[in-house]
């Protein structure tokens, strides 16, 4: 693999791909036969030390803790068996969701990108190397709001595993170094409001803290 500085994936990434309904405890009806993916804007990134801002146009924004996969090498039409070769590393992420917007859009079969891609909708950690996370398919993800545990589950509960997500996405678009695939969230996603503090963690590797504020 050619040398790429993945430490700066936020600055150098070309796209963020998210997965929905990818934890078994979130699937209430028939399980999807293929991954359900969407795109998030790069301007939605926010790093620790900065607040999550709630857009004025939204009345209900949910937290969703997720494992992010950082692509390490350009790839297209990758098989499931070969997909792991293109993983450069990982990050801990939140997929903040304007549920008031997304819920209505789903009912009317309309695009719901704005509910997922607003400014500060993708809080992320630093880059996590594969050496720090040798088994991404069985790592604890947790999230607290104001000290109350909201989400706590192992990534082993993912419906589509990481190689399946990479392979499927690569059938439609070229994956490039520093791109991030968000692998879905477990049950427990719920609204946050101005003044809340979100804390989340991944195994014993790292923890994040983000204050929540109304947009100016």
What's the whole-model pTM score?
0.94
Strand 122-124 versus strand 45-47 pairing type: parallel
Rounded CA gap, 213 and 102, in Å?
A: 20
Nearest residue to 63 via CA among 156, 157, 152, 143:
143
Which pair of tokens denotes residue 147?
A: 């000290």
Which element (helix H / strand E) includes 104? helix 99-107
What six digits make up the tokens of 208?
């994040």
pLDDT of residue 112: 75
Q: Which of 66, 16, 45 is nearest to 189 (CA)?
A: 66
pLDDT value at position 105? 66
Tens place of pLDDT per residue across the chain (216 aa): 456 889 999 999 999 999 998 988 777 777 889 999 999 999 999 999 999 999 999 999 999 999 999 999 999 999 999 999 999 999 999 999 998 877 776 777 766 788 898 999 999 999 999 999 999 999 999 999 999 999 999 999 999 999 999 999 999 999 999 999 999 999 999 999 999 999 999 999 999 999 999 998
Q: Domain 6-214: which topology? A: Fumarylacetoacetate hydrolase; domain 2 (3.90.850)
202: Cβ contacts below 8 Å, ≥ 6 apart: 67, 92, 125, 128, 133, 139, 140, 141
User: What is the secondary structure of 22-39 as a DSSP string?
Assistant: -BGGG--SSPPSS-EEEE
What pLDDT shows up at residue 1?
Answer: 44
Q: Which of 102, 91, 82 is nearest to 46 (CA)?
A: 91
Task: Give residue limits of the domains in the chain.
Answer: 6-214
């Amino acid at each position: 693999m050619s040398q790429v500085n993945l430490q700066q994936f936020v600055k150098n990434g070309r796209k963020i791909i998210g997965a929905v309904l990818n934890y078994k405890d979130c699937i209430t009806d028939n399980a999807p036969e293929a991954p359900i993916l969407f795109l998030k804007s790069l301007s939605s990134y926010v790093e620790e030390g900065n607040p999550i801002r709630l857009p004025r146009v939204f009345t209900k924004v949910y937290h969703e803790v997720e494992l992010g996969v950082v692509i390490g090498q350009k790839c297209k039409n990758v098989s499931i068996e070969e997909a792991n070769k293109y993983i450069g590393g990982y990050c801990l992420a939140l997929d903040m969701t304007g549920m008031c917007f997304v819920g209505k859009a789903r009912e009317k079969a309309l695009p719901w990108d704005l509910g997922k891609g607003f400014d500060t909708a993708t809080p992320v950690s630093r880059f996590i190397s594969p050496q720090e996370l040798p088994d991404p398919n069985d790592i604890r993800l947790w999230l607290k709001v104001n000290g109350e545990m909201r989400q706590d589950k192992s990534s082993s509960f993912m419906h589509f595993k990481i190689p399946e997500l990479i392979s499927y996405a690569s059938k439609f678009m070229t994956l490039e170094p520093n791109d991030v695939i968000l692998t879905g969230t477990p049950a427990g996603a719920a609204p946050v409001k101005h003044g809340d503090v979100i804390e989340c963690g991944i195994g014993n590797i790292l923890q994040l803290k983000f204050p929540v504020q109304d947009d100016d």
